[in-house]
């Protein structure tokens, strides 16, 4: 009973995930288990949605409480919102929508929050390399590989924390466009191997290089990894990419893509319920159903 149907009543709060395809999403499993664990009168379902505008119009009179938003609706849904988190607006994509009782829709992008918080916690584990107060990303040289949706999330998120952002992309024009928007520097992916103006930089891969099935590829050379104190990879299949393995062997702190995935879920739960997420439960379920 994935949806705990036995417990649904007229006043049960309804959440869901909108997407296409959506049936494979594990979010209902995680959220329903989480609701149940704290006795919340709420359900989280799959919404197979073709046209997001139609979805929001159709459901405007129904008392639903919020939804997650996945492929291919992260950009189109943005245009249906009443309020948008400022960074999500700049990124141009949302994945989390809260509906107030008066029907107002407020949207967030929890992907960038998940990734950035995981990276910040990784840096906090490195004593003495960051200021005692504020974000450990402040003042750091932060190299983002890739300039697609995930690249934007990381670049805007890091810039907001005061990092000095460098965007490196296979197609230079896309790097330049994003770098200009975040007040950063642009280069091609090929140039990154020779870019090490200082030590202790942070690296975030958002390209698909190293993703299953091409697991023997890495976006930058192992040799150049010694200039980085922390390396994050947005890829989570495989869990440890060649990039992360080589970074680990080189002595950098590594942050897995799965960590971004799970933390973005914590943020969604917080936004939906106003409560902290049952983090251990989420982690256990993710591991069990990986």
Just list the catalytic residues.
74
Regarding 19 and contact with ligand ATR (CB under 6 A), the answer is no
- Give, in order, the Cα–Cα distances in Å from 143 to each of 186, 220, 228: 10, 12, 9
Regarding 151 and contact with ligand ATR (CB under 6 A), the answer is yes
Residue selected from 135, 207, 271, 273 as contacting ligand ATR according to rule CB under 6 A:
207
- Torsion angle, alpha carbons of 232, 235, 238, 244, to 10: -20
Part of the chain binding ligand ATR (CB under 6 A), chosen from 7-15, 32-40, 166-174, 266-274: 166-174
Regarding 95 and contact with ligand ATR (CB under 6 A), the answer is no
- Give, in order, the Cα–Cα distances in Å from 29 to each of 17, 33, 112, 171, 173: 11, 6, 23, 39, 41
Residue 180, token pair as written in the block? 């200009």
Angle between helices 27-37 and 279-288 (to 10 degrees): 140
Residue selected from 37, 41, 60, 171 as contacting ligand ATR according to rule CB under 6 A:
171
Q: Which residue is nearest to ligand ATR (CB)?
A: 148
Residue selected from 25, 106, 160, 208 as contacting ligand ATR according to rule CB under 6 A:
208
Minimum Å distance from CB 173 to ligand ATR? 8
* Contacts of ligand ATR in 119-148 (CB under 6 A): 146-148
Site size toward ligand ATR, by CB under 6 A: 15
Q: Are strands 96-99 and 105-108 parallel, antiparallel or unpaired?
A: antiparallel
Regarding 221 and contact with ligand ATR (CB under 6 A), the answer is no
Regarding 181 and contact with ligand ATR (CB under 6 A), the answer is no
Regarding 189 and contact with ligand ATR (CB under 6 A), the answer is yes
Residue selected from 135, 169, 205, 241 as contacting ligand ATR according to rule CB under 6 A:
169
Nearest to 267 by CA among 45, 76, 31, 33: 31
| Residue 195 main-chain phi, psi, to 5 deg | -105, 105
Residue 106, token pair as written in the block? 């407020």
The site for ligand ATR (CB under 6 A) is made up of 146-151, 169-171, 174, 189, 206-209
């Amino acid at each position: 009973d994935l949806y705990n149907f036995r417990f649904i009543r007229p006043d049960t709060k309804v959440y869901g995930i909108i997407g296409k395809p959506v049936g494979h999403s594990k979010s209902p499993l995680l959220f329903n288990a989480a609701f149940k664990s704290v006795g919340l009168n709420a359900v989280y379902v799959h919404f197979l949605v073709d046209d997001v505008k139609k979805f929001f119009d159709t459901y405007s009179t129904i008392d639903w409480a919020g939804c997650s938003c996945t492929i291919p609706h992260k950009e189109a849904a943005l245009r249906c919102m009443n309020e948008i988190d400022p960074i999500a607006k700049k990124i141009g994509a949302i994945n989390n929508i809260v509906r107030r009782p008066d029907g107002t829709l407020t949207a967030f992008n929890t992907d960038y929050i998940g990734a950035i918080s995981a990276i910040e916690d990784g840096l906090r584990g490195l004593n003495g390399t960051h200021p005692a107060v504020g974000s450990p990303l402040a003042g750091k040289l932060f190299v983002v590989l890739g300039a697609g949706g995930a690249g934007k999330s990381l670049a805007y998120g890091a810039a907001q924390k005061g990092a000095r952002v460098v965007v490196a992309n296979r197609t230079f024009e896309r790097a330049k466009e994003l770098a200009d928007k975040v007040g950063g520097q642009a280069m091609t992916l090929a140039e990154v191997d020779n870019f090490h103006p200082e030590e202790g930089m942070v690296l975030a891969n958002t390209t698909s290089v190293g993703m299953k099935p091409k697991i023997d590829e890495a976006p930058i050379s192992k040799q150049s990894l010694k200039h980085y104190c922390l390396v994050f990879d947005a890829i989570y299949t495989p869990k440890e990419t060649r990039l992360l393995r080589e970074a680990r062997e080189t002595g950098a702190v590594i942050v897995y893509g799965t960590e971004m995935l799970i933390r973005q879920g914590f943020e969604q739960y917080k936004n939906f319920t106003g409560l902290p997420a049952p983090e251990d439960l989420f982690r256990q379920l993710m591991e069990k159903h990986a």
